[in-house]
Amino acid sequence: MENNNIDILGLAETSLNANTSKIFAKSISDCYVLYSSEGEKKGLGVGFLIKKEYDKYVQSFQHFNNHYIWVNADTLISTFDSKILDVNPSIKTDHHIIYIELLYEELFYTKTDPKLRKNPSRTIYSYKNMKAEEGEWNRKNYNKDITDALENTSIKLTPNQIRDIQSIAELNQRWNQFQNVILNSAKKNIKNRLSKKPAKRHHSVRDSQLHHDITTLKGMITKSKNTNVDFDDRSANGIKKIIEFTTRKHTHHDGSINDNRTELSTIMSRHNIAYTNNNIRNKTSNFLHKLQSTLATLEAKFYHEYYEYHKWLIESFVDERNDNYKNDKKKMINSITEKHIKSITINKVYCNDNDEDILYTDVQDVQEQTNLHFQRVAGAINTEKNMNDHPDWIRQYTPQDHINDIIYTDLLNYPTLEDWIETINNLPNDKASGPSGISYEMLKYFNIINQSIFHAFICVCIDLGTIPDA
């Protein structure tokens, strides 16, 4: 069966009697053949399925008592706990229950629908190469491109036009124009590179050097099979093929070059596996044996570390949950109930005002109507209050003598352009940009013209009491 790659797809003590077994066998007859020992009573049949194209290789099927469980080496390595359990008395059988626990993540994979994965990319800027006026990367060209783009007839963005903005929608539109102009000039005049490396969650075992070495050894074995290298062939041609395989060079991702023989020696040395370099070099027939034995050793070590890591994870999560039970009950309850945090976005409001149905879609109108709804939803309506009717609150609203009210005089005044530029220049460097993609360094490189445009946006935001979406 091994020579013809025959797999037993199922082997079990079934609950089928003779009649139902025949019906089942007929239903799968297009693809599989069922061999079974059938009994008149349920629970006496034992059988297995085999692919129909391999049926011709089956010489005979004998009835037997299943007192043995056969597993291959990979499954045996994946086992970290097993025991024999007593059978529930209500179940009539002469067999025992074998309890076996496997590292299931290494054996079974969840089939999911294929989805296109986005490869997130970001632009990384190098500001240390920026010069004032000279060189390939300079502030003069950076500001010139911004000014030229803003003077374009399709944009024509000036401080006075910005000050005339009256709505949030117009603010977002104008800011998006200014934002795109800044980023386009930055990509052209500030040294940068595009990083396409996706974010990756680190797994201390699967991402370890040990797992990488196991993958390397498996790759060597696969290549030896694909190239039909026979390590037991002692002919001149066979030895030549073995030497070519062991001395075949390949390049690593870091640029280093090694042959298979050196790679195996390095891996064995890294994991303190006893070896003799001359033995690997001179007795090429032993190369495959060393390769397979080293792989088995590393896999056993990997599964042990994998089990210990998952055991540590479970213990740490239990400790965290116990700690949350004492100090953060909300987080504990959310974790136990697997509660998903959801957010609600209101982008339109439909209401009935004086028997007239009105649909609000403007952002500002939606916010006003939503605020008005939640003020009235409980039945209370805000009205003017006479403080004389609430003597207990009079003292709370009486001006305090120890507070100098002059400090609030300029609270809502616009910052001057000079103060704003000073604030920008005092911002820290080497900080990640926010959703806008504009960094502090890009703002610091503005000349007085572009700073005045940015300052105009700040003043409008103070007037409207909001900021652009991005």
Residue 253 or residue 420, greater confidence:
420
Lowest-confidence pick of 137-146, 204-213, 343-352, 460-469: 343-352
Percent of the chain with pLDDT over 70: 71
Mean pLDDT comparison of 108-122, 249-263, 272-286, highest-scoring range: 249-263
Predicted local distance difference test score (pLDDT) of residue 105: 53
| Burial of 224 from C-beta contacts in 10 A (0-12 / 13-18 / 19+) | buried
Predicted local distance difference test score (pLDDT) of residue 43: 45
Kindly tell me if the per-residue pLDDT of 452 is higher than 80: yes
Predicted local distance difference test score (pLDDT) of residue 40: 47
Lowest-confidence pick of 33-37, 210-214, 430-434, 454-458: 33-37
Lowest-confidence pick of 166-175, 379-388, 415-424: 379-388
Mean pLDDT of 335-339: 77
Residue 84 or residue 150, greater confidence:
150
Lowest-confidence pick of 75-84, 179-188, 399-408, 425-434: 75-84
Residue 445 or residue 116, greater confidence:
445
Kindly tell me if the per-residue pLDDT of 395 is higher than 80: yes
Kindly tell me if the per-residue pLDDT of 376 is higher than 80: no
Tens digits of residue pLDDT in 89-124: 555 566 666 666 555 555 554 555 555 555 567 788
Q: Whole-model pTM? A: 0.40
Mean pLDDT comparison of 9-13, 115-119, 264-268, highest-scoring range: 264-268
| Band of residue 454 on the pLDDT scale cut at 50, 70, 90 | very high
Kindly tell me if the per-residue pLDDT of 15 is higher than 70: no
